[in-house]
Amino acid sequence: MNLKIGFAGLGIMGRPMSGNLVKAGFPVTVWNRTQSKTHCLADAGADVANSPKELAERSDVIITIVTDSPEVKQVVLGEGGVIEGARANSVVIDMSTISPAATREIAEDLALKGIHMLDAPVSGGDKGAIEGTLSIMVGGPKADFDRCLPIFQAMGKNIIHMGDEHGMGQATKACNQVIGILNILAVGEGLMLAHKSGLDLNRMLQAVGAGAAGSWMVNNLGPKMAAHDFEPGFIIRLQQKDLNIVLETAKDLNLPMPGTSLAHQLLRSVEAEGLGEKGTSAFIRALEKLADCSLV
């Protein structure tokens, strides 16, 4: 019999992800702080709960995808939260991007009531969420991962169990964010050099994109940066949230991260320009301001 799923958080990511679970035939109940966002899921066949507690009472597996650690704690552990309604042996899967340390704290509190937890952050953006092709990096006991694998398969393609310890998925997502942001910085500097050298920017990206320096960022964000197309995608405010998680985690581990720190500061200058709600392609503005020139 299909596991009954409760899904909390119907934002840019949660809406299509829960929709894919309904399409896959799971019995799904949804909850969202702003209730109007549940209408489209109700139309698609989901039930609607009035609180995270009620959601958990009706579910075997409760998925959360909200903003950051304090919001996950509020939905899971707060008054009227998941912990008040979930049964022993049910599983909470947090798919938000939050800190590994907060994940471990939440898992410990849930364990006191016999509730299991997996951390399963995602990569692939709204496009991956809509198409059901997300990369999902999962931390927590393997037995729980195996039990929930069909659920992950309805939302993603590259699904990897990172280890039995809680927080291993979030640690992997932090690595993802480091590699991604430094790649964006590299593409930006390459574009600035191309501009100053009088090159055609898109032809440079085309030449580089198929070689050893090619990457998803070169091929997808490069043309957007060159054209000043700052429509999200992934917004700078959330990128900064994730870099804060990375830098806090690195501090706990006594690990210097000079490149990530630099990228974080450069993005702050883009936020100071009022572009925090724009996509990460707007990173190019930081480099343009330093060089006092514009690519367009």
Positions in 228-257 near ligand NAP (CB under 6 A): 234, 238
- 281 contact partners, CB below 8 Å, separation of at least 6: 221, 224, 225, 229, 230, 233
Q: What are the two backbone dihedrals, phi and then psi, of residue 118, each rounded to the nearest 5 degrees?
A: -125, 140
Please tell me which residue in 53, 173, 224, 278 is annotated as part of the active site.
173
In the complex with ligand NAP, which residue's Cβ is closer, 82 or 192? 82
Assess whether 23 carries a catalytic annotation: no
Instruction: Examine residue 74 and tell whether it contacts ligand NAP (CB under 6 A).
Output: yes
In the complex with ligand NAP, which residue's Cβ is closer, 237 or 289? 237
| Number of residues lying near ligand NAP (CB under 6 A) | 24
Other Cβ atoms closer than 10 A to 134: 27
Closest separation in Å from C-beta 182 to ligand NAP: 17
Among 47, 84, 105, 126, binds ligand NAP (CB under 6 A): 126
Instruction: Examine residue 197 and tell whether it contacts ligand NAP (CB under 6 A).
Output: no
3-state secondary structure of 152: helix
**End-to-end Cα spacing for the chain:** 57
Instruction: Give me the residue whose beta carbon is nearest to ligand NAP.
Output: 11
In the complex with ligand NAP, which residue's Cβ is closer, 95 or 295? 95
Between strands 28-31 and 5-8, the pairing is parallel
Positions in 7-36 near ligand NAP (CB under 6 A): 9-14, 32-34
Asked whether the beta carbons of 52 and 85 are under 8 A apart, the reply is yes
Q: Which residues bind ligand NAP (CB under 6 A)?
A: 9-14, 32-34, 37, 65-67, 71, 74-75, 96-97, 122-123, 125-126, 234, 238
Which residues are marked as active site? 173
